[in-house]
Structure 1
Amino acid sequence: MIMYILLPFFYLIFNLFKILYSRRNKQCCILDYQCFKPSEDQKLSTDLSGDIIMRNKHLGLEEYKFLLKAIVSSGIGEQTYAPKVIFEGRESCPTLNDSISEMDDFFNTAIGKVLARSNVSPSDIDVLVVNVSMFSGTPSLSARIINRYKMREDIKVYNLTGMGCSASLISIDLVQNIFKTQNDLYALVVTSESLSPNWYVGYDRSMILSNCLFRVGGCAILLSNKVVSSPLAMLKLKCLVRTHHGARDEAYGCCFQKEDNEGSVGFYLSKTLPKAATHAFVDNLKVACPKILPIRELLRFSISTLARKWLGWGSSKSGGSRTILNFKTGVDHFCLHTGGKAVIDGIGHSLNLSEDDLEPARMTLHRFGNTSASSLWYVLGYMEAKKRLKKGEKVLMITFGAGFKCNSSLWEVVRERNGGGDGDDGNVWNECINGYPPETLANPFMEKYGWVNSEDPATFSAKKRK
């Protein structure tokens, strides 16, 4: 009789444990990540930047003045890295081997380090996701990694191209969905961009601008949903929201890889880009806010908005300020894409962020430039090196990409990693973090090449020939 009474109870307990175990297996956690730091001989100094511009035969005096203004206001310093083809003076005629070599340098460094530090064998990887937007070889780059590290025959492989600067969060979303259907997996996300075949050598201003922003970089990220790996996790994914405005012609055409009138290939950045980014950002936040902010903040915002609309409280006519959400009620740190100084300023203004909140993104732009989809992880590395990330805190990542896309994700810090100083944690900021933020972010380009503003076209052409 007692057994018949206790049997349903034990059955309930068993299923409860089963559900809890299943949920733990569905988690998407980052065990470790490794950003790529190119060799010192690939640093793009001010002098070399000037040489590259001067040897571009297509550029006249007006284009040079435009570039001078763009570089000075870009927020990029003298420590960023460029592809080797630039230093060899072959940016106008890159080869297939240049592209492959650039990727191999990254693969051999970042992937090897993150696996070794995590004590995970390449044969343990169950899922491999590679995203490099503007270079797709045959066999694929993912196949090249599998061959290099001798991974398993049954590994699940995804090779993404054309996804732009927001590709790393797209890759994370792909991994998360796989984790929801299968347990006890390791996933490796490899994110980078190939600049060797995409350095623009023409004179179209909308395409020259990309040369002032994009730099060499990449990141390898190791994720898992293994229960035994949970104590080792650094970050746990709380939510991820993707927004795609590709159906809108204006948004679709604002970022484009194309040829100019002379046949030179480059990356076109339209004047409508800020508008497209704003629309995608707003639509993304509409979905993300209920997932990342506490109910009390959502209620406060709703009540304030209704009061402004129906009662006129705090309206602009009465001298009041606009009603905005306080993202700091649900987010402790903001990991922003380093698309450029204007992008960082725009997000900061929209979210009402302080200079301390924007510092990691600004410093990453200054030190490493825009490394496309891997930029987020350099920003995260800065936060770690400054020892800002504490257990239990939340990190919001926001990225933009061609298409046009805006993706965001919220992470919880599970384990603090010893960043900064001489710690052997693989952080690319370790050697220079004590010098950041510098006293000034002023670019010396104007000081060295500002003479062009007072030159006439004939004199400028003569100096270029020399």
Structure 2
Amino acid sequence: MLFYLTILSIFLILYLLYILYNFLETKRHQKCYLLDYQLYKPSDDRKLSTEFCGEVIKRTKNLGLNEYKFLLKAIVSSGIGEETYAPKMVFEGREDRPTYQDAIVEMEELFEYTIERLFKRSGVSPSEIDVLVVNISMFACMPSLSSRIVNKFKMREDIKTYNLCGMGCSASLISINLVDSIFKIKKNQLAMVVTSESLTPNWYIGNDKSMILSNCLFRSGGCAMILTNKPSLAHKCLLKLNCLVRTHHGSNDESYGCCIQTEDDQGRVGFHLGKNLPKAATKAFIDNLKELAPKILPIRELLRFGIHLATLNFFKNGQKKSTRAVINFKTGVDHFCLHTGGKAVIDTVARSLGLSEYDIEPARMTLHRFGNTSASSVWYVLGYMEAKKRLKIGDKLFMITFGAGFKCNSCLWEVVRDMEGVENVWKECNIEDYPPQTIMNPFTEKYGWIQDEDINTFKVPE
């Protein structure tokens, strides 16, 4: 009897060890790593100088005196420099009549620059990619852009492709969330994410102020990245995804309509940025942080915040509070990748999180050098940190993005490999010159006087 009990005990122990091994092995394969990424840098002949921007505005026939002055004011206060990039058709003077082929060429240039370099540097071949996710919000074609990539790089027949449209500036984190979900159920996967925006067919030629503003903010850019859940590649990867939180306020009509592609009174399609956009962004941001904070902050900070908040509520005595409880995200985060939606977006997030000028320097410099590159903007911010040698093993990196819908998506990465030796487009921009002693907007000197000019005496230059 003792013999059988011993045998049974051995089998039971082995079975429990087998279950534990499978559990740990599954967890090991469910991690999401960033193996490598490649930013897009268009050729220098696509740079938007101060003078050329003025020429583009002047040749827009539908603009009146008020709209002309409004655009110049916007570009003066945008925080954007004169080394950002625009599509080819703008330099050819055809922004009012782009062709379908123009949009295709814009995307092909992005694919050739980023994907080819990424494959070469990472050592991954196109045939090894199991999943491909492409997010270009404002351009859809047939076959899809993901199919074009599969055809161009001759990827496998069983590759799983996803083509995301209409997801706005927060689309890259949505793509990563999709990849991470796939990694939870499939082992040993390699996934590619391509994130950008198509400006060619979406240049607004009307005179609605809420729609012409997008022409001042959005610039050409993009990024391709390879993610994996292969344990064998973990030591080669740059970042590990710790958590990702998505917030969607699309059920609220005000939030839904504050950032939307639509037609103006003349039937001209453009991208409307409503006056209630800051309010919608703030609501989504707060709700996102409420869910994210417990996932990334130490317990001591959560307790401190809770005690502080309870104390303020207890002593307020029905009067308006002069102070408010503020949670310190720096206790769980070392670096902040902020979406470069505009100077006001960066400033608002910085105030909300209590960030220093050092913390937001990468976002400010990205806006100044590359502009708002939509869903790829946070990757240029990451590239700046990398080129500046800020990222060390074990550091926590917080990404925050906003997008139409209205959406706020954020995630926390952990640096798992020294990133000092990796080349990126910022090194080609003389990274040693950033940040400059004074960030002078080149448009201020030429157009800044307009802010104080009497509208009745202002003359549109010939």
Q: Give 1:4 shift.
A: 4.4
Separation in 1, partners of 2:458, 2:333: 55
Of 419, 426, 430 in structure 2, the residue corresponding to residue 429 of structure 1 is 426
Structure 1 residue 418: deviation in Å? 2.1
Match of 1:438 among 406, 415, 436: 436
Which residue is equivalent to 1:89?
A: 93
CA deviation map 1:400-433 (0-9, x unaligned): 00000000001110012225xxxxx341100221
**Equivalent in 219, 222, 231 of residue 223 of structure 2:** 219
Q: What are the Cα deviations for residues 342-372 of structure 1, in whole angstroms up to 9, with x where unaligned?
A: 0000000111111111111111000000000
Q: Distance in 2 between matches of 1:5 and 1:437?
A: 67
Output the amino acid matched with 2:277. L
- Is 1:34 the counterpart of 2:38? The answer is yes
Does 1:112 pair with 2:109?
no
> How far did residue 233 of structure 1 move?
1.2
Q: Distance in 2 between matches of 1:257 and 1:75?
A: 24
Q: Give the equivalent residue in structure 1 for 2:356.
A: 354
Alpha-carbon distance between aligned partners in 1 of 2:387 and 2:445, rounded to the nearest angstrom: 32
* 1:312, distance to aligned residue in structure 2 (A): 4.1
Unaligned runs of 5+ in 2: none
Q: Distance in 2 between matches of 1:311 and 1:281?
A: 28
Post-superposition shift, 1:244? 0.5
1:434 deviates by: 0.8
Amino acid at match of 1:266: G
Partners of 1:33 and 1:336 lie apart in 2 by 18
**How many angstroms does 1:201 deviate by?**
1.6
Which deviations, in whole Å up to 9, do the C-alpha atoms of 1:285-335 show, x marking residues without a partner?
A: 11111101111111111111011101349x976x6x321000011111111
Shift of 1:264: 2.4
Structure 1 residue 23, shift from structure 2 partner: 0.7
Greater mean alpha carbon deviation, residues 2-11 or residues 45-54: 2-11
Residue 323, structure 1, aligned to residue 325, structure 2: yes
Q: Take 1:285 and 1:54, find their aligned partners in 2: how far apart are those partners?
A: 43
Does residue 287 of structure 2 align to residue 289 of structure 1? no
Partner of 1:265: 269
Q: 1:433 to 1:308 in 2, by over 3 A?
A: same
Match of 1:98 in 2: 102
Contact 1:385 1:427 in 2 (8 A): yes
Deviation at 1:15, TM superposition (A): 2.6
Deviation of 1:3 after TM superposition, in Å, equals 4.6
Which of 392, 399, 407 aligns to 1:397? It is 399
Conserved 8 A contact 2:387-2:423: no
- 2:462 matched to 1:460? no
Cα separation, partners in 2 of 1:392 and 1:458, compared to 1, 3 Å: closer
Secondary structure of the corresponding residue to residue 242 of structure 1: strand
Deviations 1:246-293 (A, max 9, x none): 000000000111221223221110000000000000111111111011
Change (3 A) 1:23 1:73: same
Q: Which amino acid aligns with 1:438?
A: P
Q: 1:455 to 1:98 in 2, by over 3 A?
A: farther
Question: 2:172 touches 2:195 (CA, 8 Å); kept in 1?
Answer: yes
1:14 corresponds to 2:18:
yes
2:343 is matched with 341
Tell me, yes or no, if the aligned pair for 2:246 and 2:407 is still in contact at 8 Å: yes
Q: Distance in 2 between matches of 1:90 and 1:272?
A: 32
Structure 2 counterpart of 1:130, which letter? V
Q: Which amino acid aligns with 2:141?
A: G
In the TM superposition, residue 28 of structure 1 has moved relative to its aligned partner by 0.6
Taking the aligned partners of 1:328 and 1:345, their CA distance within structure 2 comes to 17
Query: How far, CA to CA, are the matches of 1:458 and 1:438 in structure 2?
Result: 36
Q: CA deviation at 1:447?
A: 2.1
What is the letter of the counterpart of residue 459 of structure 2?
F
Matches within 5 A, 1:176-191: 176-191=180-195
- Check whether the contact 2:127–2:156 (CA below 8 A) recurs between aligned residues: yes
Q: What SS class does the counterpart of residue 211 from structure 2 fall into?
A: helix
Cα 1:54–1:451, aligned 2, differ >3 Å: closer, same or farther?
farther
Question: What is aligned with 2:308?
Answer: 304
SS at match of 1:32: strand
Identical residues among aligned pairs (%): 63
- Is structure 2 residue 414 aligned with structure 1 residue 412? yes
- Post-superposition offset of 1:208: 1.1
**3-state SS of 2:132 partner:** strand
Shift of 1:59: 1.6
Partner residue, 2:365:
363
C-alpha deviation, 1:78, in angstroms: 0.8
What amino acid maps onto 2:439 in structure 1? L
**1:131-146 pair list within 5 angstroms:** 131-146=135-150
The 8 Å contact of residues 190 and 221 in structure 1, kept in 2 or not, is answered as yes
Structure 1 Cα separation of the partners of residues 176 and 8 of structure 2: 47
Output the CA distance in 1 between the equivalents of 2:119 and 2:347: 36
User: How many angstroms does 1:73 deviate by?
Assistant: 0.8
- Please say if residues 42 and 87 of structure 1, whose CA atoms lie closer than 8 Å, have aligned partners that are also in contact: yes
Query: AA paired with 2:40?
Result: F
- CA drift of 1:20 comes to 1.4
Amino acid at match of 2:328: N
- Residues 439 and 23 of structure 1: is their aligned pair in 2 closer, same or farther, counting only changes over 3 Å? same
Q: State how far apart, in whole Å, the 1-side matches of 2:143 and 2:183 are.
A: 27
2:205 and 2:354 map into 1 onto residues whose CA distance is 39
User: After the TM superposition, which of the residue ranges 254-263 and 302-311 deviates more from structure 2?
Assistant: 254-263
Aligned residue identity for 1:430: K
Q: Which runs of 5+ in 1 are unaligned?
A: 420-424
The residue aligned with 1:384 is: 386
Q: Which amino acid aligns with 1:129?
A: V
SS at match of 1:346: helix
1:172 aligned residue: 176
1:25 Cα offset (Å) = 0.3
Residue in structure 2 matched with residue 422 of structure 1 by the alignment: none
Within 2, Cα distance between the matches of 1:426 and 1:107? 18
1:117, distance to aligned residue in structure 2 (A): 0.9
Alpha carbons 2:76, 2:447 under 8 Å: kept: no
Which is further off, 104-113 or 7-16?
7-16
TM-score norm. by structure 2 comes to 0.95
Match of 1:122 among 126, 131, 137: 126
